[in-house]
Amino acid sequence: MIRIDPDKKRRRLRVVLPEARRMASACSACGHACGAARTGAGVGTCRAGLGDGDHARWQAATPHFGEEPMLVGRGGSGAVFFSYCCLRCEFCQNWQISRQGAGNNGHFSDLAQTFLKLRSRGVENINLVTPTQYILPILSALEAACARGLDIPIVYNTNGFDSVELVRLLDGVVDVWLPDMKYMAPEPAARFSHAANYPDTARAALRQMYAQAGPLHIENGVAARGVLVRHLVLPDDLSGSYDFLLWLRDEGMTDISISLMSQYSPQYRAKTHPEIARPLTVREYEDVVAYADKLGFENVLIQEMTSKDAYLPDFDREQPFHKRTD
């Protein structure tokens, strides 16, 4: 198990917290920069808002064995799924929590206890899943948990729609960045996720994450720090897979770790869009994998296409990912 110095992290969190509070008071944590007063009664474009900056809402908190192998290790990734999301993806597989807001409200001290409980179950890291809309109470919870000895890496598992200001703020707090890169062009980003500025925002965020943390560093098979970027290949190259790989190369990020995901299936409202109403074909996926190889990327994780149904969570179940963790 990777160990992090909790006192050092706590010192950094104490510096970060006042700045995070300022950011949340007219929220600019994500690319919407909607300005909601998240330290008061404000509710964001993301629909998150609990009347102060001390509470968050989350659904499951569980050892998760379905993430990439270097996040899972032996003990599993300690995933905490936060409710709502700053993107509105028409094909979201986590729609029960991202769109319907499934979950329970809790004070940051409860969240700190949740982190510590996961740690006591032997997880390899704390995996904050879709955390941006609750960044202030999460940081307060981490500070409280570090004061009580939380000593494992923090994984920031994000849709990638994070402001550069936020990424800078989390330097020294986040150990492993786990962003998506969903689209490279504004038009599909607007049509399928209602955020035309997603590509520019996500590119800037990824550039900053990589500048801060560098490529993924793995110790004894487990991620200790760095960036692992996820890219879900969509039908008809709507996610701009080839442009994404070219952009990474042109940015000099050829040593970055990429998780190329084949698991797309038309969930939630996807069937209302003919372009994304079908699964990915084997050919579409394999062509992207071959292109990554051709460009010289060496740290590419690929997915079995036969397993795509196993990646679908059901947050009404006690174990949302039971098919993947059996």
DSSP, residue by residue, 109-170: HHHHHHHHHHHHTT-S-EEEES-GGGHHHHHHHHHHHHHTT--S-EEEEE-S-B-HHHHHHT
Nearer to ligand SF4, 160 or 320 (CB): 160
Nearer to ligand SF4, 39 or 93 (CB): 39
- 251 HSE (CA, 13 A, CB side): 19
Q: What is the number of the residue whose Cβ is closest to ligand SF4?
A: 44
How near is the Cβ of 223 to ligand SF4 at its closest, in Å?
25
How near is the Cβ of 132 to ligand SF4 at its closest, in Å?
5
Nearer to ligand SF4, 201 or 259 (CB): 201
How near is the Cβ of 317 to ligand SF4 at its closest, in Å?
27
How near is the Cβ of 49 to ligand SF4 at its closest, in Å?
7
How near is the Cβ of 134 to ligand SF4 at its closest, in Å?
8
Footprint on this chain of ligand SF4 (rule: CB under 6 A)? 27-30, 32-34, 36, 38, 44-46, 48, 86, 132-133
How near is the Cβ of 47 to ligand SF4 at its closest, in Å?
8
Nearer to ligand SF4, 82 or 264 (CB): 82
How near is the Cβ of 82 to ligand SF4 at its closest, in Å?
11
Q: How far apart are CA 201 and CA 204, in angstroms?
A: 5
- CB distance 31 to 162 below 8 Å: yes
Strands 176-179 and 154-158: parallel
How near is the Cβ of 38 to ligand SF4 at its closest, in Å?
5
- CB distance 249 to 228 below 8 Å: no
Nearer to ligand SF4, 178 or 253 (CB): 178
Q: How far apart are CA 89 and CA 99, in angstroms?
A: 9
Q: How far apart are CA 298 and CA 25, in angstroms?
A: 42
- CB distance 245 to 274 below 8 Å: no
Of the candidates 258, 247, 262, 188, the one whose C-alpha atom is nearest the C-alpha of residue 216 is: 258
Task: Count the residues in the chain.
Answer: 326
Nearer to ligand SF4, 34 or 164 (CB): 34
Nearer to ligand SF4, 27 or 261 (CB): 27
Per-position b or e across 53-76, b if 16+ CB within 10 A of its CB: bbbbbbbbbbbbbbbbebbbbebb
Of the candidates 220, 238, 261, 244, the one whose C-alpha atom is nearest the C-alpha of residue 295 is: 244
How near is the Cβ of 166 to ligand SF4 at its closest, in Å?
9
Nearer to ligand SF4, 138 or 142 (CB): 138
Helices vs. strands in the chain: H and E counts, helices first: 11, 10
Nearer to ligand SF4, 105 or 281 (CB): 105
